[in-house]
Amino acid sequence: MTISNPDTVLIIDFGSQVTQLIARRVREAGVYCEIAPFQSAEEAFKRLTPKAVILSGSPASTVDIGSPRAPQVIFDSGLPVLGICYGEQTMCAQLGGKVEGSDHREFGRAFLEIENDCPLFEGVWAKGTRHQVWMSHGDRVTAIPPGFRVVGTSTGAPFAAIADEERKYYGVQFHPEVVHTPDGAKLLSNFVHKIAGLSGDWTMAAYREQAIEAIRKQVGDGKVICALSGGVDSSVAALLTHEAVGDQLTCILVDHGLMRKNEASEVVAMFREHYNLPLILVDAADRFIGALEGESDPEKKRKTIGRLFIEVFEEEAKKLGGADFLVQGTLYPDVIESVSFTGGPSVTIKSHHNVGGLPERMNMSLVEPLRELFKDEVRVLGKELGLPGSFIGRHPFPGPGLAIRCPGGVTREKLEILRSADAIYLDEIRKAGLYDAIWQAFAVLLPVQTVGVMGDGRTYEFVCALRAVTSVDGMTADFYHYDMEFLGRAATRIINEVKGINRVVYDVTSKPPGTIEWE
Ligand SMILES: Nc1ncnc2c1ncn2[C@@H]1O[C@H](COP(=O)(O)OP(=O)(O)OP(=O)(O)O)[C@@H](O)[C@H]1O
Ligand SMILES: O=c1[nH]c(=O)c2[nH+]cn([C@@H]3O[C@H](COP(=O)(O)O)[C@@H](O)[C@H]3O)c2[nH]1
Ligand SMILES: NC(=O)CC[C@H](N)C(=O)O
Ligand SMILES: [Mg+2]
C-alpha cells in the first residue's frame, strides 16, 4: 500500500537501531516520510518520488567489502540528501571522500564545535559555539568529497558535520534523531523545511485522508476482511477501511483461547455498541491450544499462532464467499523487530505473529494502513477518527496473547491460572488509578514451582511474575516504579485468590536489555 503525498521524505535504512526515530522527528516537523530498507531503496525512490532523502546509520562499516551503499539514483536526482553517521560515511565513500576505521571510537555523549555557519544549524547553533550531541561510531571520515566543507568537529571526528550547500548535501557523524542530541530535532526540521523547502503541513488528518485514498486504490471493488482484536491498532485499521470501502468489509475476531478474562465478549459488545460493522466472532480455542500443547520454543509458538490465524481467516473468508484482502493493524515496531535485513544486521528479535509469523503462502493480499506508524501516532489517528477513549487508552495486547506469557509449554490449566492472576493484577491497577500512567501491564506464569506454606500446609505451586512498563512507542521501555504497598497488595490477592500460584515476583528489567513480553 502506498500513501501518495506531494511532500515525502525517503529515509533509507541501513539497519540502525534508531532509524525509526528519524521518521518520528520528520513527521513531528509536519512532513510525511517513509522508511525503506537499502535493498529496496531504489524501488521506493521511484514509487514515492520523494523531495528529499535521509541516509540512516548502520552497524555495518563502509570499509568492509560488500557493505551497503545508497543507490546512485539518489545522487543523480539532484535532491537534498542528509547522511547520518553511516549515512555520512557512505555518502563520503561514494562521492570521492575517504572513510577509515579509527581507534578513537565515540559512544554516547560528545561535544560538537561549530566551525562554520550553515543552513542545517540556522537559528540553532552559531559559529564558535559548542554543543552536546550523541555519537555511536567506530569509523570516521578522513577526507571529504569535492564540493564539501567542514562545519562541525568533535574530538573523535574531524568531519563531525559537513556540508555541500551547492548540491544541498549534508552529513553528520552524530545522531540528531535521538533525544540525547538536545537540539537534534531542530536540525532535522531545518533540513526538511529550510534546505528541502517542504511545507510542514502534514498532519494526522492528512494521513487519514491519504490512507483512505490508498486503501480504495489498493482494494478496488474487492472483498475485504479485517483481523480485529479490539486493540487500538486493529480498531483504527478497521475504521479507516470502513471509511474507505464501506460494506465491502467484514471484521473477524478470533477467540484463540489465549485472550484475557472475558475479553472476546467485551470487545464484541464494545464494537457493536459503537459501530455498525459486520463482526464475526470465531471460537478457535481448541485448535490453537491443541496445536500449542507440548511446544515450548518461543519462536515456534509464535509461528504456529501466525499460521493458525491465517488458516482461520482463510476459512472464514471462504464462508463469506471469498475475500481478496486481509486488513491488519500492523505497526512499524512489529515490522522492525521481525525483519532481519541481510547486509545490515538489524536482527530478528522476535517474530510478531502478524509479520514474521505469517506463512509464506497466503491467498489474500495484506492491507496494512498503519505499517509506518508508532503506537502513539495511531492513538492520535484514532482520536481523529472519533474512536472512543475506552479503545484508545487500552494497553497493548499481543496477538499471540497469553501463550507468550506462559514461558515453556502451554496448557489449558496454566492458561486458566494466568488469566485469573492477570485479571486481579489489572483490577488492582485500575483501583489504584494507575492504568493510564502505565503503558502496558500484565502477569506472566513462570514454569517454575516453589515451596510455600499456606494454612499450615505445604504448597508446591507456580511463580507468577508481574510486569508493568512505561514507554512512548514500545521500542524502549522502563519498568514502572510502583510503591511496595501496591505490589504487596496485588501479590497477596493473587496468591490468596488463585489456586496454583504461591509466589509473586516483580520484573524490574528495562527494554533494552529485556523486551516487554517474556517470549
Ligand atoms: N484475536 C485476534 N483476532 C483477530 N485478529 C487479531 C487478533 N489478535 C491480533 N490480531 C491482528 O493482529 C494485529 C496485530 O496485533 P496487535 O496486538 O499488535 O495489535 P492490536 O491488537 O490491534 O492493538 P494492540 O497492540 O493495542 O493490542 C492486529 O492489529 C489484528 O489485525
Ligand atoms: O500483535 C503483536 N504480536 C506479537 O507477536 C507481539 N509480540 C509482542 N508484541 C507487543 O509489542 C510490544 C513490544 O513487545 P516486545 O518488547 O516484547 O517486543 C508490546 O506491546 C508487546 O505486547 C506483539 N504484538
Ligand atoms: N551508528 C553508525 O551508523 C555507525 C557506523 C559505523 N558502523 C561505525 O561504527 O562508524
Ligand atoms: Mg493486540
Helix (H, G, I), strand (E, B) or coil at 51: coil
Pocket flag, ligand 1, residue 232 (CB < 6 Å): yes
Pairwise CA distance, residues 254 & 144, whole Å: 57
- Joined grid coordinates for residue 317: 473468508
- pLDDT tens, residue by residue, 342-380: 333 355 567 776 665 555 667 889 999 998 888 888 999
Place of cell 496477538: 399
Pairwise CA distance, residues 373 & 96, whole Å: 36
- Joined grid coordinates for residue 349: 528479535
Going from the Cα of 56 to the center of ligand 3, the distance in angstroms, rounded, reads: 10
Ligand 2 pocket: which of 516, 518, 519 to mutate (most atoms within 8 A of CB): 516
List binding-site positions: 229-235
The dihedrals phi and psi of 179, each to the nearest 5 degrees, come to: -70, -20
Would you state the pLDDT for residue 361? Answer: 62
Going from the Cα of 479 to the center of ligand 1, the distance in angstroms, rounded, reads: 23
CA 417 from chain centre, in angstroms, equals 30
Cα angle 199, 202, 203; round to 5: 150
Relative orientation angle of helices 412-431 and 484-497, to the nearest 10 degrees = 140
Would you state the pLDDT for residue 345? Answer: 37
Pocket flag, ligand 1, residue 229 (CB < 6 Å): yes
Going from the Cα of 303 to the center of ligand 1, the distance in angstroms, rounded, reads: 15
Q: Across-strand partners of 9?
A: 33, 52
- Joined grid coordinates for residue 333: 515496531
Would you state the pLDDT for residue 341? Answer: 39
Would you state the pLDDT for residue 357? Answer: 55
Would you state the pLDDT for residue 291? Answer: 97
Three-state helix/strand/coil letters over 233-295: HHHHHHHHHHHHHHHHEEEEEEECCCCCCCHHHHHHHHHHHHCCCCEEEEECHHHHHHHHCCC
Catalytic pick from 131, 137, 175, 352? 175
Would you state the pLDDT for residue 334? Answer: 76
Q: Across-strand partners of 266?
A: none
DSSP 364: S
Pairwise CA distance, residues 44 & 49, whole Å: 8
- Joined grid coordinates for residue 353: 505473529
Pocket flag, ligand 3, residue 139 (CB < 6 Å): yes
Going from the Cα of 351 to the center of ligand 2, the distance in angstroms, rounded, reads: 9
DSSP codes, 169-222: EEEESS-TTSTTSTTHHHHHHHIIIIIT-------HHHHHHHHHHHHHHHHTT-
Pocket flag, ligand 3, residue 37 (CB < 6 Å): no
Pairwise CA distance, residues 219 & 364, whole Å: 11
| 137-168 core/surface letters (b: 16 or more CB in 10 A; e: else) | bebbbeebbeebebbbbbebbbbbbbbbeebb
Would you state the pLDDT for residue 353? Answer: 63
Sheet with 224-227, strands from edge to edge, namely 279-283, 249-255, 224-227, 325-327, 365-367
DSSP 394: P
The gap between the terminal CA atoms of the chain, to the nearest Å, is 30
Pocket flag, ligand 3, residue 56 (CB < 6 Å): no
List binding-site positions for ATP: 229-235
Pairwise CA distance, residues 315 & 202, whole Å: 40
List pocket residues of ligand 2, CB cut-off 6 Å. 302, 337, 350, 352-354, 396, 398-400, 440, 474, 511, 515-517
Pocket flag, ligand 3, residue 58 (CB < 6 Å): yes
Would you state the pLDDT for residue 373? Answer: 86
Ligand 3 pocket: which of 14, 22, 61 to mutate (most atoms within 8 A of CB): 61
Measured from the Cβ of residue 497, the count of other Cβ atoms closer than 10 Å reads 12
| 12-22 core/surface letters (b: 16 or more CB in 10 A; e: else) | bbbbbbbbbbb
Ligand 1 pocket: which of 234, 271, 336 to mutate (most atoms within 8 A of CB): 234
Catalytic pick from 85, 92, 118, 464? 85
Helix (H, G, I), strand (E, B) or coil at 412: helix
Going from the Cα of 165 to the center of ligand 3, the distance in angstroms, rounded, reads: 24
Place of cell 573523535: 156
The number of CA neighbours under 13 Å toward the Cβ of 64 is 12
Of the candidates 377, 329, 372, the one whose C-alpha atom is nearest the C-alpha of residue 353 is 329
Q: Is 175 a catalytic residue?
A: yes
Pocket flag, ligand 3, residue 278 (CB < 6 Å): no
Q: Are 363 and 186 in contact (CB under 8 A)?
A: no
Cα angle 121, 125, 126; round to 5: 105
Tell me which amino acid residue 1 is: M
Protein residue closest via CA to atom 5 of ligand 3: 86
Q: Cβ neighbours of residue 214 under 8 Å, at least 6 residues apart? A: 1, 2, 3, 4, 369
Pocket flag, ligand 1, residue 253 (CB < 6 Å): yes
Segment holding 72, helix H or strand E: helix 72-76
Pocket flag, ligand 1, residue 397 (CB < 6 Å): yes
Would you state the pLDDT for residue 202? Answer: 87
Would you state the pLDDT for residue 496? Answer: 97
Catalytic pick from 88, 177, 372, 377? 177
Going from the Cα of 49 to the center of ligand 4, the distance in angstroms, rounded, reads: 34
Residues with pLDDT less than 70, the chain: 1-5, 336-349, 353-361
Place of cell 499450615: 456
Q: Are 279 and 249 in contact (CB under 8 A)?
A: no
Helix (H, G, I), strand (E, B) or coil at 297: coil
